[in-house]
């Protein structure tokens, strides 16, 4: 296990540092994706759709063809790319504001059409890029810059559980929620990402991996406190596990 973590940077990832904050889960997720891209050898055969949000410049880090989508529209844009190039691997990377608020229609309909896409959904319960506003996945009671007194069910609704929601759509093939707040879970996350990649490569169909991710800056917590926050707060509301896995 330790070996995996210490091995050198995946070759599909640009050398140098990212703009992600210390303790942020995006960096870990990027690393995992890079490892999977290397292991499956898909870098030269893939097209990445990057979202609006913290991962917007992901194309600066992953050395593959990519398109920066409008906010929430990656599943629509990615659908078209996959339809034009069915032999290429299309990766959809989205955050919670992107996927679960402004792009709800696009993700539901891409899932419902059973598009053969791989969606990596990073859920850190806030809008990180704009400075920690309330997201559709913000927990009840969680304070953000637009819910300064804490999120309340009345008037703001409950956090949206995307895995539970999408797993009700019969055309989805694989839905799993993982987390990157500790080593054990990072390993599980990588396995899930790899499975979602392989599903598309093997023509299985729509796969989505939700990744619970730390946002120390948005949460106003230290990196260590943020890991603890996932363990103690988020996991209760967002249980990890496989929500749908249709064997083909």
Partner 1 sequence: MEATHTGKKVLMKGNEAVGEAAIKAGCQCYFAYPITPQTETPEYLSRRMEETGRIFLQAESEVAAINMVFGAAAAGARAMTSSSSPGISLKQEGISYISAAQLPCVIVNVVRGGPGLGNIDASQADYIQSTRGGGHGDYRCIVLAPNSIQECYDMTMNAFDLADKYRIIVMIQNDGIIGQMVEAFEMHEYIPLFDNLPAKDWALTGCRGRQPNVCHTLYLGTNGLEKLNRQLQEKYARIQRELAWFEEYACENAELIIVAYGAVSRITKAAIKQLNGSGRRVGLFRPRTLWPYPSQRLAELAGKMKKPKFLVIEMSAGQMLIDVQLALMDVVPKKDIYFEGMGGGWYSSVEGTLKKVQEILG
Give the footprint of partner 1 on this chain (CB under 8 A): 43-47, 49-50, 56-57, 59, 63-70, 73, 76-81, 83-85, 88, 105-106, 108-109
Pairing of strands 241-245, 206-212: unpaired
Q: How far is the CB of 45 from partner 1 (least distance, A)?
A: 5
Distance between CA atoms of 197 and 138, rounded to whole angstroms?
28
Nearer to partner 1, 76 or 230 (CB): 76
190-224: string of b/e by CB count within 10 Å (b at 16+)? Answer: bebbbbbbebbeeebbbbbbbbbbbbbbbbebeee
Nearer to partner 1, 92 or 212 (CB): 92
Q: Is 130 exposed, middle or buried (0-12, 13-18, 19+ CB in 10 A)?
A: middle
Q: How far is the CB of 76 from partner 1 (least distance, A)?
A: 4
Q: How far is the CB of 52 from partner 1 (least distance, A)?
A: 8
Nearer to partner 1, 77 or 226 (CB): 77
Nearer to partner 1, 44 or 170 (CB): 44
φ and ψ at residue 103, rounded to 5 degrees: -110, 25
Q: How far is the CB of 77 from partner 1 (least distance, A)?
A: 4
């Amino acid at each position: 296990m330790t070996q995996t973590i210490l091995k050198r940077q995946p070759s599909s990832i640009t050398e140098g540092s990212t703009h992600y904050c210390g303790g942020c889960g995006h960096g870990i997720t990027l690393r995992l994706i890079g490892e999977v891209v290397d292991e499956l050898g898909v870098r030269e055969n893939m097209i990445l759709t990057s979202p609006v949000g913290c991962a917007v410049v992901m194309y600066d880090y992953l050395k593959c063809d990519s398109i920066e989508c409008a906010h929430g529209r990656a599943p629509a844009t990615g659908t078209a790319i996959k339809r034009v190039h069915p032999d290429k691997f299309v990766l959809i990377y989205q955050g919670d504001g992107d996927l679960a608020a402004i792009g709800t229609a696009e993700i539901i309909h891409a899932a419902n059409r059973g598009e053969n896409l791989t969606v990596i959904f990073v859920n850190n319960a806030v809008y990180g890029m704009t400075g920690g506003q309330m997201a559709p996945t913000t927990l009840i009671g969680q304070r953000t810059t637009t819910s300064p007194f804490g999120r309340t069910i009345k008037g703001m609704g409950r956090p949206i559980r995307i895995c539970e929601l999408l797993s009700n759509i019969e055309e989805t093939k694989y839905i799993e929620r993982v987390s990157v707040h500790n080593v054990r879970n990072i390993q599980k996350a990588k396995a899930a990402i790899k499975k979602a990649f392989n599903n598309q490569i093997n023509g299985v169909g729509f796969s989505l991996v939700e990744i619970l991710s730390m946002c120390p800056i948005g949460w106003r917590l230290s990196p260590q406190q943020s890991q603890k926050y996932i363990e103690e707060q988020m996991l209760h509301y967002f249980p990890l596990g496989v929500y749908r896995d249709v064997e083909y």
